[in-house]
């Protein structure tokens, strides 16, 4: 199942939108800070308690985003998610992408940059939750450690969320995908599920304003298993980028990186 182009509400950058964005930004940081501090009380308890607690925070943030900013969520292709553990290779345009999977999946675990786990207090809770750290400057040994941690999480039934671009990109922008996601899928031994989105149209990278409308997360069919890694990576990038661009409004400017063919 596919989704139509991004649906933006009329006059999305007016004064009312800026005021609503300011309120949301304040609530987001306050609620997140309170969640992190409260989560410290869960450190002595089983990990599943922390996961349920963080999932509650995600539901709250999505509710505030809808009520305050008028951003509604449309998810297509839920039937493409296999039961049990999987590797979710998701397009990354917005901080929204780091929240939504906590609400959509039963037991998601994110692959995060190692430096994020060094943030005081927040990093402690993230580690308790089970986040998988990746050191992009660490070479083969860092990749092996990431694969080992992700495989352990998958063995417990978790869904592994990884952003194959390695960073947020603007809507329409293409950058080369990192090969670690393919190695991760091979090690876990589960299907890689590609996901497209237009989240950057509503909650942009380093953007203050949150534009009202209907944001789409499009879950695509799992990629074939057993393909050579280079072929699998190219197939993944093609299906994610093609669908993500299709979600953009007609005539939206494409910001295509020259390094991508």
111-129 tens-digit pLDDT: 988 888 888 899 899 889 8
What does the angle CA 196 – CA 56 – CA 147 come to, to the nearest 5 degrees? Answer: 55
Q: pLDDT > 90: what percent of the chain?
A: 61
Rounded CA-CA distance 102/82 in Å is: 17
Q: Can you say how many angstroms the Cα of residue 28 is from the centroid of all Cα atoms in its chain?
A: 17
Alpha carbon of 137 to those of 114, 115, 162, 165, 186: distances in Å?
Answer: 10, 11, 17, 15, 21
Residue 184: which of 137, 222, 233 has the closest Cα?
233
3-state secondary structure of 7: strand
Rounded CA-CA distance 234/217 in Å is: 21
Highest mean pLDDT among 74-78, 143-147, 174-178, 250-254: 74-78
Least confident of 5-19, 174-188, 224-238: 5-19
- Mean of per-residue pLDDT scores for the chain: 88
Confidence of residue 62 (pLDDT cuts 50, 70, 90): very high
Q: What is the mean pLDDT of residues 233-249?
A: 95
**Phi then psi dihedrals of residue 207, to 5 deg:** -95, 135
Q: What is the mean pLDDT of residues 191-207?
A: 93
Confidence of residue 155 (pLDDT cuts 50, 70, 90): confident
Predicted local confidence at residue 19, as pLDDT: 94
Residue 95, number of CB atoms within 10 A of its CB: 17
For the purposes of burial, counting CB atoms within 10 Å of the CB of 88, is it exposed (0-12), middle (13-18) or buried (19 or more)?
buried
Residue 225 pLDDT more than 70? yes
Q: Where are the alpha helices (DSSP H) in the chain?
A: 15-39, 47-69, 97-104, 122-129, 139-155, 180-188, 229-246
Q: Which residue has the tokens 């839920």?
A: 78
Predicted local confidence at residue 200, as pLDDT: 95
CATH number, span 11-246: 3.40.1130
C-alpha dihedral sign at 192, 188, 226, 138: positive
Rounded CA-CA distance 247/234 in Å is: 20
Domain boundaries defined on the chain: 11-246
């Amino acid at each position: 199942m596919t989704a139509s182009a991004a649906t933006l509400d009329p006059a999305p950058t007016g004064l009312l939108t800026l005021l609503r964005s300011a309120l949301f930004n304040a609530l987001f940081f306050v609620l997140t800070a309170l969640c992190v501090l409260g989560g410290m009380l869960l450190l002595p308890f089983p990990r599943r308690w922390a996961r349920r607690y963080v999932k509650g925070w995600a539901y709250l943030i999505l509710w505030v985003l809808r009520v305050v900013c008028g951003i509604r969520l449309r998810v297509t292709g839920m039937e493409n998610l296999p039961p049990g553990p999987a590797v979710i290779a998701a397009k990354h345009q917005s901080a929204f992408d780091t929240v939504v999977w906590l609400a959509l999946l039963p037991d998601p675990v994110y692959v995060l940059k190692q430096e994020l786990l060094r943030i005081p207090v927040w990093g402690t809770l993230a580690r308790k939750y089970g986040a998988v750290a990746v050191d992009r400057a660490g070479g083969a040994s860092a990749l092996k450690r990431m694969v080992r941690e992700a495989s352990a999480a998958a063995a417990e039934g978790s869904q592994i969320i990884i952003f194959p671009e390695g960073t947020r990109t603007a809507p329409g922008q293409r950058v080369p995908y990192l090969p670690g996601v393919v190695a991760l899928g091979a090690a876990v031994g589960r299907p890689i599920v590609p996901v497209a989105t237009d989240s950057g149209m509503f909650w942009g990278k380093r953007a203050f304003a949150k534009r009202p409308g209907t944001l789409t997360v499009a879950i695509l069919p799992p990629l074939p298993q057993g393909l050579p890694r280079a072929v699998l990576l190219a197939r993944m990038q093609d299906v994610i980028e093609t669908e993500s661009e299709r979600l953009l409004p007609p005539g939206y400017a494409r910001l295509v990186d020259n390094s991508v063919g």
